[in-house]
Homo-oligomer: A and B are copies of this chain.
Amino acid sequence: MSVTASEQTTSRGASELPPISHPPKGADATREKLLQAANELLFERSGAEPSVSQICERAGVQVAMVSYCFGGKNQLLEALVERINIGIRGELERLAAREMAPEEMLRHHVAAMVRNFVRFPYVSQLNERLRAGNQPAQRIAPPLTDFYRELLGAGARDGAFREVDPELFFFSLVGMCEYLFSARSLLTEGGGAVDDDLIERFTEHTIDLVLHGIRGNMEERP
């Protein structure tokens, strides 16, 4: 797997959020600072939620700005999940638009998903908590499931893949990519350190497991 220089830094500290389309000013700039601060703290604290005052201290803004900019902490966290999801959906659309065999496309997609969990290991659990609290958290499942429906269908038509349920595949693939990050304290090697070498081995391992897992009988290799 090729890992670019900017991606390598993500295994050592929190990464930047996906950029917005225009340079933020005024209240938008404050929103940006708060979102980035929440991202950094959630990353550093393995998903344990920071308080409003911790977020504001990190962002270097007054505590009242969370209410002013978002309405409250849950809405700030929702906006963070949505920002991350917008980045993921954009990545998915660009990948889906490429001319590529289904197997190759899935290989790229798995590598991208692992990379996103390296950057935002807390996002699944945060999303689930926001939904459990009846917050209208943004959903990433439908675009992913639609992507799998297309991809698995195309692969099944040309005999590369066997028939696989796209929604169940969504849970399998996201779970398989996410768990190393959400449960990294269970790593016996290195006391839970997710370093670049482990990420690379895990990406290759996951691609192999998934591609073998759905490969059609027609395409089995000697």
- On chain B, the residues within 8 Å of A129 by CB distance are 48
Total chain A interface residues with beta-carbon distance under 8 A:
54
Kindly specify which of A5-13, A72-80, A87-95, A178-186 makes contact with the partner chain: A178-186
The reply to whether A202 and B139 form a contact with Cβ atoms under 8 Å apart is: no
- A32 vs B28: C-alpha distance when bound (angstroms): 53
- A132 vs B217: C-alpha distance when bound (angstroms): 44
Q: Is A15 an interface residue (CB 8 A)?
A: no
The reply to whether B142 and A188 form a contact with Cβ atoms under 8 Å apart is: yes
Complex interface bits, A186-220 against B, C-beta within 8 A gives 1, otherwise 0 = 11110000000000011001101110111101001
Number of copies: 2
The reply to whether B185 and A180 form a contact with Cβ atoms under 8 Å apart is: no
CB distance from A92 to the nearest CB of B (A): 16
- On chain B, the residues within 8 Å of A215 by CB distance are 212
User: For chain A residues 70-125, which have a beta carbon within 8 Å of chain B?
Assistant: 124-125
The reply to whether A172 and B124 form a contact with Cβ atoms under 8 Å apart is: no
The reply to whether A132 and B171 form a contact with Cβ atoms under 8 Å apart is: no
- On chain B, the residues within 8 Å of A172 by CB distance are 176, 179, 205-206, 209
- On chain B, the residues within 8 Å of A214 by CB distance are 209, 212
The reply to whether B183 and A174 form a contact with Cβ atoms under 8 Å apart is: yes
- On chain B, the residues within 8 Å of A165 by CB distance are 201, 205
- A188 vs B148: C-alpha distance when bound (angstroms): 14
Tell me which of B164, B189, B212 contacts A205 (CB under 8 A): B164
Q: Find the residue from A139, A175, A189, A205 having the highest chain B CB count within 10 A.
A: A175
Q: Is A222 an interface residue (CB 8 A)?
A: yes
Q: Is A20 an interface residue (CB 8 A)?
A: no
- On chain B, the residues within 8 Å of A150 by CB distance are none
Q: A131-B185, A167-B189, A209-B214 are in contact. List 5 more A-B contacts (CB 8 A).
A: A124-B179, A165-B201, A208-B213, A209-B213, A217-B222
CB distance from A100 to the nearest CB of B (A): 22
- On chain B, the residues within 8 Å of A188 by CB distance are 141-142, 145, 167
